[in-house]
Structure formats: structure tokens, C-alpha cells
Amino acid sequence: MAGGFSGGAILLGAAIAVGSIIVVFGGEAAISRTEFCVSCHSETYPYEELKKSSHWGALGADPGCKDCHVPQGLANFHLAIWTHVVDGVPFLIDEFTVDYSTIEKFNERRPEAAYRARMKLKGWDSMTCRACHKNTKPPGASAKAAHQKMQTEGATCIDCHQNLVHKKVPEHDLTASVAQGRMVMKEAEKEKD
């Protein structure tokens, strides 16, 4: 066959394509496992906090790191890959260049890590929260009013629920942070300083 593809070349191309798909999807699944996350010493601290939080066992299951920090499902696969590359690689570099040998040393960097995680959730419209918390029914008038802000002001779960799982960190005004392109603390947090 002059100028055409041979059957062997097509089979080789198909095998490479299938192999690539297996590596990408399998790799993403492997590095989304909690066991992989906590293999880094720095992540053992937040994992222990998770196990003591109200989220542990709350819906009949114990959530893993990916349940909050990595969008799930085929429609969000690109976000999962992006999260591992853009967020995961810098954390991996930090693991080898920053001393996290004690909780105190980890806590020095905790505010920045919390800010990055909160901004990621804000950008995702808290999709990982909503994956488990469907059809929420806030108790009381103030909670209902706060939830109304999701329709009227573009708020999302993380705007109000910032310290549910991990050690308390001063809260950020995420909407102002997005608008200003920098970390902005909530007014109540500024008054405490």
C-alpha cells in the first residue's frame, strides 16, 4: 500500500492510545487515594484532624482527601488532573524542601494552605461539598438567610463553612479575595488582630 497506513501501524496507534488512557485514568485514581496523600508526612496532620471531625462517618462513610480536594466524575476529570498538577506538584516540592517534622512547623504554613484550598473550593462552586450534601435544608431563619446568599450574592458552601474539618484557621473573605486577586481576611478576623 503506497502512501497509506498499514494495518500494523493502525494497531500500534490504537494500542498506544488505549495504553495512554489506562495510564492517565489509572494514575489519577492512584494518586487520588488517601493512602497516597498521607504518604507525605505533612498530610498526616490534616488527616488526623479529619478523623476527629464531624465529617468522619457522618453519612455512613469515612471521607478521604479526594472527596473534598479533588473533583470527581468523568465530567470533572480535567479538573482532577489540573488539581494534581497545579496543586499537587507544589505540595510535593514543599514536602522535600520544607521541614514538616512537627505539627508546629506545619502550622506555620497552614494559613496559606487553607487559603489555597478555600479559593479552590470557591472556584469550583463547592462542587465537592455538594457531591455529598445534596438538597440541604438549613435549620433556622439565620441559616436559611445565609443559604439564600447562594442565589442572590454568588456565595458557595466554603464562603461560610471554612473551619469544619481541619484545625481552625482565620477565615477569609473569599469573594473579596477573588475580586482583589489577593488574600483578604473576613472583617471579624481583622478585628481580632
Q: What is the pLDDT of residues 91-104, one digit of tens each?
A: 889 999 999 999 99
Residue 128 in this model has a pLDDT that exceeds 90: yes
118: left (phi over 0), alpha (psi -120 to 50) or beta: alpha
Q: How far apart are CA 129 and CA 23, in angstroms?
A: 28
- Measured CA to CA in angstroms, residue 113 lies from 10, 74, 108, 175 at distances of 47, 27, 10, 18
Reported confidence tier of residue 191, pLDDT bands at 50, 70, 90: low
pTM: 0.83
Burial (Cβ within 10 Å: 0-12, 13-18, ≥19) of residue 126: buried
Residue 99 lies in a domain: yes
- Long-range residue pairs from 61-65, CB within 8 A, at least 24 positions apart, any chain: 63/132, 64/33, 64/34, 64/37, 65/32, 65/34, 65/37, 65/38
pLDDT of residue 142: 85
Percent of the chain with pLDDT over 90: 58
Residue 2 lies in a domain: no
Mean pLDDT for 66-72 is 94
Residue 169 lies in a domain: yes
Residue 175 lies in a domain: yes
pLDDT of residue 3: 53
The count of domains in the chain is 1
pLDDT of residue 5: 67
Q: How far apart are CA 148 and CA 151, in angstroms?
A: 6
- Out of 40-44, 132-136, 163-167, the most confident range is 163-167
Mean pLDDT for 60-74 is 92
Mean pLDDT for 21-29 is 85
Residue 1 lies in a domain: no
Which domain, by its residues, includes 78? 10-192
Residue 180 in this model has a pLDDT that exceeds 90: yes
Residue 22 lies in a domain: yes
Residue 71 lies in a domain: yes
Q: How far apart are CA 37 and CA 47, in angstroms?
A: 9
Residue 50 in this model has a pLDDT that exceeds 90: yes
pLDDT digits (tens, 9 = 90+) for 143-168: 888 888 787 888 899 999 999 999 99
